[in-house]
């Protein structure tokens, strides 16, 4: 159990796109009470506080950042989110140890009956686990030609009854629905999804830039794992990535594992959509576990040298954690404050939780302490 009253001092505070040297953070009742620099913390601390000297705990250039928010992941620690509440707890424990204090639980394509049961189960789980922010339906409303690691036999058109059934099963906890906007009825479905309070995401699609723009005009606000399972960015055919990076309403998901995107592309996306990139894991059960054979939904996945693929060679999610994504982004040339923003405030805002992803006074005290090499030393979860 994390202490509800504690203080961290002597850290590089990286938050809201800025870096502050020799910073301290005071937490009261699981929320940020005050913050400052230097020795000012001494006037606020009490005998009841747990005190962490960041420099002593994680080195002289220790970094204190908001807790990471993953809006797209499928499991970890050997467990898949599709397999029930206990599997979700197991996978969440693995990712929390790597800095992810809050996460949306992503579900792969399954039958409507199975998906309805799973989103209802997640709605129940949220009542006792505030680290789970809701569900993300990555299927079944996907283009068969860009199904990726989703079973093409289970894909479906976004008919009103199907969309309505899944949203109702979630009882207001469906946070995100990925949809191919070129499918019949997709634009109407996007409007229904957003009216229900969820974010509609364009992904697993054959749409060109014009169709993608129509989806954004209908209310879609996220691009699911940019470049993957969609037409590429061509100088005469900008496709979904071109439409998304040019639209200030849209958050662009990126999987920074060194496999899904070349580092140069990662750097270009950050430059093209400043403040709108969300570093997600798309992690499957093998994250934090050994190589070998796993299931992703109904499909068998072989993990070799930490890379997950179907038998035909298709990339099948990742084995990524968000601290590793941070290191990859920084190594690619992304400034540390921007990379941290992409793990915190940007994804939180994308799914309607602007109260998360910040360490400003009044915010839940979700925080991650990292060493100079950006490896996690300590994680705290506050009160939402």
- For residue 67, the 8-state DSSP code is P
What is d(CA 7, CA 359) in angstroms, rounded to the nearest whole number?
13
State whether residue 336 is helix, strand or coil.
Answer: helix
The CATH class given to the 6-66+360-380 domain equals mainly beta
Q: Give the pLDDT confidence score for residue 303 in this predicted structure.
A: 86
Q: What backbone torsions phi and psi does residue 343 show, to the nearest 5 degrees?
A: -100, -10
What is d(CA 8, CA 84) in angstroms, rounded to the nearest whole number?
36
Enter the tokens of residue 241. 């990535």
Q: Give the pLDDT confidence score for residue 130 in this predicted structure.
A: 93
The answer to whether 204 and 229 have CB atoms below 8 angstroms apart is yes
Q: Give the pLDDT confidence score for residue 121 in this predicted structure.
A: 98
Strand blocks (E) in 180-249? 199-202, 222-223
Q: Give the pLDDT confidence score for residue 231 in this predicted structure.
A: 97
Q: Give residues with Cβ within 8 angstroms of 153, minimum separation 6.
A: none
The answer to whether 303 and 291 have CB atoms below 8 angstroms apart is yes
Enter the tokens of residue 297. 């939904």
Enter the tokens of residue 249. 């309403």
The answer to whether 35 and 69 have CB atoms below 8 angstroms apart is no
Q: Which residues pair with 351 in a beta bridge?
A: none
pLDDT string in tens for the chain (384-residue length) = 578 899 999 999 999 999 999 999 999 999 999 999 999 999 988 887 899 999 999 999 999 999 999 999 999 999 999 999 999 999 999 999 999 999 999 999 999 999 999 999 999 999 999 999 999 999 999 999 999 889 999 999 999 999 999 999 999 999 999 999 999 999 999 999 999 999 999 999 999 999 999 999 999 999 999 999 999 999 999 999 999 999 999 999 999 999 999 999 999 999 999 999 999 999 998 898 888 888 777 778 888 888 888 888 888 788 999 999 999 999 999 999 999 999 999 999 999 999 999 999 999 999 999 999 999 999 999 987
Q: How many CB atoms within 10 Å of residue 114?
A: 15
Q: Give residues with Cβ within 8 angstroms of 4, minimum separation 6.
A: 27, 28, 29, 30, 383
The answer to whether 251 and 346 have CB atoms below 8 angstroms apart is yes
State whether residue 168 is helix, strand or coil.
Answer: helix
What is d(CA 8, CA 365) in angstroms, rounded to the nearest whole number?
11
Q: Give the pLDDT confidence score for residue 337 in this predicted structure.
A: 98
Q: Give residues with Cβ within 8 angstroms of 53, minimum separation 6.
A: 9, 10
1-27 burial: b if 16+ Cβ within 10 Å, else e: ebebbbbbbbbbbbbbeeebebbbbbb
Task: Judge if the upstream peptide bond of residue 140 is cis by omega within 30 degrees of 0.
Answer: yes
- For residue 357, the 8-state DSSP code is S
Residue keyed to tokens 């289970």? 154
Q: Give the pLDDT confidence score for residue 1 in this predicted structure.
A: 58
What is d(CA 290, CA 308) in angstroms, rounded to the nearest whole number?
11
What is d(CA 190, CA 51) in angstroms, rounded to the nearest whole number?
47
What is d(CA 265, CA 255) in angstroms, rounded to the nearest whole number?
11
Catalytic residues, by residue number, are 282
**Domains of the chain, residue spans:** 6-66+360-380, 68-350
0.85 surpassed by pTM: yes
Q: Give the pLDDT confidence score for residue 292 in this predicted structure.
A: 87
State whether residue 141 is helix, strand or coil.
Answer: coil
β 222-223/199-202 pair status: parallel
Q: Report CA-CA distances (Å) from 143 to 35, 139, 160, 220, 222.
A: 48, 10, 17, 16, 17
Residue keyed to tokens 């220790």? 62
Enter the tokens of residue 79. 């467990």
CATH topology of domain 68-350: TIM Barrel (3.20.20)
Q: Do domains 6-66+360-380 and 68-350 have the same CATH topology?
A: no
Q: How many CB atoms within 10 Å of residue 262?
A: 12
């Amino acid at each position: 159990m994390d202490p509800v009253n504690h203080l961290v001092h002597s850290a590089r505070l990286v938050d809201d796109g800025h870096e502050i040297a020799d910073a301290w953070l005071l937490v009261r009742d699981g929320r940020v009470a005050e913050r400052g620099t230097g020795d000012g913390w001494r006037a606020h601390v009490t005998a009841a506080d747990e005190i962490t000297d960041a420099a002593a705990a994680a080195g002289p250039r220790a970094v204190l950042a908001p807790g990471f928010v993953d809006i797209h992941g499928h499991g970890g620690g050997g467990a898949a989110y599709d397999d029930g509440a206990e599997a979700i707890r197991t996978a969440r424990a693995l990712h929390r140890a790597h800095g992810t204090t809050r996460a949306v639980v992503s579900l792969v394509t399954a039958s409507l009956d199975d998906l309805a049961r799973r989103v209802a189960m997640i709605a129940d789980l949220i009542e006792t686990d505030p680290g789970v922010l809701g569900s993300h339906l990555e299927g079944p409303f996907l283009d068969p030609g860009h199904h990726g690691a989703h079973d093409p036999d289970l894909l479906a058109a976004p008919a009103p009854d199907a969309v309505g059934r899944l949203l109702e099963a979630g009882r207001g906890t469906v946070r995100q629905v990925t949809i191919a906007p070129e499918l019949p009825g997709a634009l109407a479905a996007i409007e229904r999804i957003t009216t229900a309070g969820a974010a509609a995401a364009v992904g697993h699609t054959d749409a060109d830039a014009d169709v993608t723009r129509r989806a954004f005009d209908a209310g879609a606000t996220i691009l699911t794992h940019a470049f993957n399972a969609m037409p590429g960015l061509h100088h005469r055919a900008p496709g979904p990535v071109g439409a998304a990076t040019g639209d200030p309403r849209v958050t662009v998901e990126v999987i920074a594992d060194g496999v899904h995107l070349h580092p140069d592309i990662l750097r270009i996306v950050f430059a093209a959509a400043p403040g709108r990139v969300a570093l997600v894991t798309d992690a499957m059960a093998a994250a934090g576990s050994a190589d070998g054979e796993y299931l992703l939904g109904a499909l068998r996945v072989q993990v070799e040298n930490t890379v997950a693929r179907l038998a035909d060679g298709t990339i099948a999610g990742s084995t990524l954690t968000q601290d590793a994504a941070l290191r990859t982004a920084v190594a690619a040339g992304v400034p540390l404050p921007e990379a941290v923003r992409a793990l915190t405030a940007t994804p939180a805002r994308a799914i309607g939780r602007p109260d998360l992803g910040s360490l400003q006074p009044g915010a839940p005290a979700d925080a991650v302490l990292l060493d100079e090499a950006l490896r996690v030393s300590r994680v705290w979860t506050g009160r939402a």
